[in-house]
């Protein structure tokens, strides 16, 4: 049976309810019309009186052979629109002749119809069709009820879905995961040619656990394995197993493995397995019976199928630390693959995949864009290019320029700009010097993060924004790196103290980050006078809250020493920030005053500003870009542009740009 036949049947099934609804509405319309029609019954004498008096407008004579009578219907003069009469007359030629004579003399419309009972089809239509419609509607309703009950009784069936072959993903679609792809290539070889492994007596891993931050490509990698091996790909979420009724999850696990065995070799992908695979017997008041029964069944099934049945399970999670140890032992999830955030080379490869169908301007190189986005996952990079493309369309541009990329980066990290929020001049000055303080520290410290962009346009909950990225990506951070990072975070507050002699709430987030780094240096990294000791561990019960049950292996005296060491680190960095900003007050004022004028500075503009003491000369396009829409309309009026009042800012810039060229 081909797809067209299936589609035709589906269309026919879809039309049946509408056909029944149409017939029902037709019947209702007929009944309403009949109920609204007033029929006056006339006796033979009354009809003959009306006939002789000439009050009949029209009439219809119908012969009733079985009753030996004539039935006459029609309208009398003075009747309303829905009012008629009905009379039953004896079957006589004289009566008919009398009516015909009067109709000729008085010229009213007369019709003669044959006996309807003489037509077998009409008899069947009138007497049988209503019952057929009634039985058909009852059958349709009963069939729908049975289908609903059947689906409700299928709650124990697996909800694993078979991936569409038309949407096949291969390793060409997966970028930036070189080592991870090498780890799973053995699975592809086994699914393609299992006999090669059987001859050698090798046992291929039954399960592979992929774990890492969100958006790094775990699901995509699993799909690519199935696509490369060209085998069925069943995918299901961990939450699809758990139901209100106890035992349903276990039943679904059994059914899922039965389907897999019938379609072996195949691949089963369980996303967010931590929803069903958490440690048993944990939490206040015991565990969740339904979830634990489901996990027990999953453990049993993974041991139940043989080594070379051709079924491989790939699971993904962001929280491997909460999984039950029995799930991770050899023989179940034998191999664990960490899918980390991509490095600069991986980000460039990911960007090249997502940039295939996008028009990039001449000034954009994926290599530079990869350097500007440390810490971005594959999903973040895809979202970045998509946002840039949307902005380019909104601004009526033919290609994505660096302006759209910068704005898209800010949107992904901080949210859209709050251009409508009004600030006083004093607030703008405070924010400008605060952000300039961060920038000065970043420029003067060798190990501090490089300043990529500074803006005083509010985004999200922040009044300004300073984008700082590492000069180079490192696997480990030194003590000097962490101290200079804290110094950079304190640069904003220090600038406020030096310039205004006052402090504000703007450094709230800076203090949060600085305190977290300082505490980790003392309690986890052993970077203080307390020595190489670890005082805190993040091994608390996740069922009681992330930090509720944090392990603390120290006395109250040591706790006081930890606080003193943290204070010492923060105070030292604060003094360093004071010294740097005091020595570079002129640079601080230069950056702050330029920010007040331009509102946003890029890395290239900051570098030029530091070297030359002024901003680079702006092009005509940049001057126009900075103008408000009111000034642009005034300029368009002077230039004689038609319909300028109805144009958007992007349209005005385009028209003015054409005139400049």
Only one residue has tokens 């694993």, namely 160
Residue-level pLDDT at 298:
79
Mean pLDDT of 35-54: 75
Residue-level pLDDT at 66:
56
DSSP character string of 107-175: T-EEEEE--GGG-HHHHHHHHHHHHHHHHHHHHHHHHHHHHHHHHHTTTTS---EEPPGGG---GGG--
Residue-level pLDDT at 576:
93
Residue-level pLDDT at 2:
45
Mean pLDDT of 280-289: 57
| Residue in 474, 469, 480, 491 with CA at minimum distance from that of residue 447 | 480
Residue 51 has pLDDT above 70, yes or no: yes
Q: How confident is the model at residue 541 (pLDDT cuts 50, 70, 90)?
A: very low
- How large a percentage of the chain has pLDDT more than 90? 6
**Residue 240, phi then psi, degrees to nearest 5:** -70, -15
State the catalytic residue, choosing from 435, 484, 496, 565: 435
Residue-level pLDDT at 140:
66
Residue-level pLDDT at 494:
92
Residue 355 has pLDDT above 80, yes or no: yes
Report cis status (omega within 30 of 0) of the bond before 501.
no
Task: List the Cα angle 159/164/165 in 5-degree steps.
Answer: 140
Least confident of 222-231, 249-258, 309-318, 374-383: 249-258
Mean pLDDT of 56-69: 68
Residue-level pLDDT at 3:
43
Q: How confident is the model at residue 581 (pLDDT cuts 50, 70, 90)?
A: very high
- Which of 544 and 241 is assigned the larger pLDDT? 241
Least confident of 156-160, 510-514, 618-622: 156-160
pLDDT single digits (tens) 524-533: 888 988 888 8
Q: How confident is the model at residue 620 (pLDDT cuts 50, 70, 90)?
A: low
Mean pLDDT of the chain: 76
Residue 341 has pLDDT above 60, yes or no: yes
Q: How far apart are CA 248 and CA 610, in angstroms?
A: 67
Residue 542 has pLDDT above 50, yes or no: no
Q: What is the DSSP letter of 241?
A: T
Residue-level pLDDT at 65:
55
Residue-level pLDDT at 70:
74
Strand-pair partners of 483: none
- Which of 199 and 421 is assigned the larger pLDDT? 199
Based on the residue annotation, tell me whether 435 is a catalytic residue of this protein: yes
Mean pLDDT of 388-407: 84
Tell me if residue 66 falls in helix, strand or coil.
coil
Q: What is the DSSP letter of 541?
A: -
Residue-level pLDDT at 153:
41
Residue-level pLDDT at 227:
83
Mean pLDDT of 614-640: 71
Mean pLDDT of 515-530: 90
Q: What is the DSSP letter of 407?
A: H
Least confident of 17-31, 286-300, 452-466: 17-31
pLDDT single digits (tens) 98-112: 777 777 777 777 777
How far apart, in Å, are the Cα atoms of 519 and each of 438, 515, 528, 631? 22, 6, 10, 52
Residue-level pLDDT at 654:
73
Q: Which of 358-372, 373-387, 598-612, 638-652 has the highest mean pLDDT?
A: 373-387
Residue-level pLDDT at 548:
46
Buried b vs exposed e over 559-587: b needs ≥16 C-beta within 10 Å? eebbeebbeebbeebbebbbebbeebeeb
Residue 342 has pLDDT above 60, yes or no: yes
- Which of 141 and 169 is assigned the larger pLDDT? 169
Strand-pair partners of 269: 235, 314
């Amino acid at each position: 049976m081909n797809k067209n036949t299936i589609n035709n049947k589906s269309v026919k099934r879809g039309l049946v309810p509408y056909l029944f609804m149409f017939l029902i509405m037709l019947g209702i319309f007929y009944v309403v019309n009949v109920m609204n029609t007033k029929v006056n019954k006339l006796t033979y004498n009354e009809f003959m009186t009306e006939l002789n008096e000439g009050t009949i407008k029209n009439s219809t004579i119908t012969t009733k052979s079985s009753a030996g009578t004539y039935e006459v219907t029609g309208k009398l003069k003075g009747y309303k629109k829905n009012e008629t009469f009905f009379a039953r007359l004896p079957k006589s030629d004289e009566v008919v002749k009398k009516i015909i004579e009067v109709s000729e003399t008085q010229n009213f419309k007369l019709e003669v119809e044959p006996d309807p009972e003489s037509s077998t089809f009409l008899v069947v239509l009138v007497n049988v069709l209503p019952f057929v419609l009634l039985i058909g509607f009852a059958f349709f309703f009963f069939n729908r009820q049975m289908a609903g009950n059947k689906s409700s009784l299928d709650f124990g069936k697996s909800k694993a879905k078979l991936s569409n072959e038309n949407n096949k993903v291969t390793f060409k679609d997966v970028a930036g995961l070189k080592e991870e792809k090498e780890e799973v290539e053995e699975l592809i070889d086994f699914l393609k040619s299992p006999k090669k492994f059987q001859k050698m007596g090798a046992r291929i891993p039954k399960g592979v656990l992929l774990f890492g931050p969100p958006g790094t490509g775990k699901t995509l990698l699993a799909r690519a394995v199935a696509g490369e091996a060209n085998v069925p790909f069943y995918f299901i979420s961990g939450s699809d197993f758990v139901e209100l009724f106890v035992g349903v999850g276990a039943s679904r696990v059994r059914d899922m493995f039965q389907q897999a065995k019938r379609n072996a070799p195949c691949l089963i992908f369980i996303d967010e397995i931590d929803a069903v695979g958490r440690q048993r017997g944990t939490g206040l008041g015991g565990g969740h019976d339904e979830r634990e029964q489901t996990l027990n069944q999953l453990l049993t099934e993974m041991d139940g199928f043989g080594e070379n049945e051709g079924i491989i399970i790939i699971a993904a999670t962001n929280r491997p630390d909460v999984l039950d140890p029995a799930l991770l032992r050899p023989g179940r999830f034998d191999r664990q693959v960490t899918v980390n955030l991509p490095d600069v080379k991986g980000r460039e490869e990911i960007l090249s995949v997502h940039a295939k169908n996008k028009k990039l301007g001449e000034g954009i190189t994926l290599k530079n864009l990869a350097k500007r986005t440390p810490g971005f996952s594959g999903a973040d990079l895809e979202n970045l290019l998509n946002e840039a493309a949307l902005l380019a369309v909104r601004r009526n541009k033919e290609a994505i320029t660096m302006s759209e990329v910068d704005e898209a980066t800010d949107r992904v990290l901080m949210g859209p700009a709050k251009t409508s929020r009004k600030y006083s001049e004093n607030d703008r000055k405070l924010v400008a010097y605060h952000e300039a303080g961060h920038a000065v520290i970043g420029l003067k410290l060798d190990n501090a993060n490089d300043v990529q962009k500074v803006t005083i346009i509010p985004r999200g909950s922040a009044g300004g924004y300073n984008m700082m990225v590492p000069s180079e990506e490192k696997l480990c951070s030194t003590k000097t790196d962490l101290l200079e990072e804290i110094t950079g975070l304190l640069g904003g507050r220090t600038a406020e103290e030096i310039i205004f002699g006052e402090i504000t709430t703007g450094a709230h987030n800076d203090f949060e980050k600085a305190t977290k780094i300082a505490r980790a240096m003392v309690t986890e990294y052993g970077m203080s006078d307390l020595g190489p000791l670890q005082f805190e561990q993040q091994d608390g019960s996740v069922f009681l809250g992330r930090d509720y049950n944090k392990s603390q292996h120290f006395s109250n005296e040591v706790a006081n020493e930890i606080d003193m060491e943290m204070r010492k680190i923060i105070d030292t960095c604060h003094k360093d920030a004071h010294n740097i900003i005091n020595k570079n007050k002129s640079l601080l004022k230069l950056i702050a005053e330029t920010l007040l004028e331009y509102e946003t500075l890029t890395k290239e503009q900051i570098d030029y500003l530091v070297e030359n003491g002024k901003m680079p000369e702006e092009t005509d396009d940049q001057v126009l870009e900075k103008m408000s829409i009111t000034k642009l309309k005034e300029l368009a009026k002077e230039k004689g542009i038609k319909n300028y009042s109805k144009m958007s800012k992007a349209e005005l810039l385009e028209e003015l740009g054409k005139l400049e060229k």
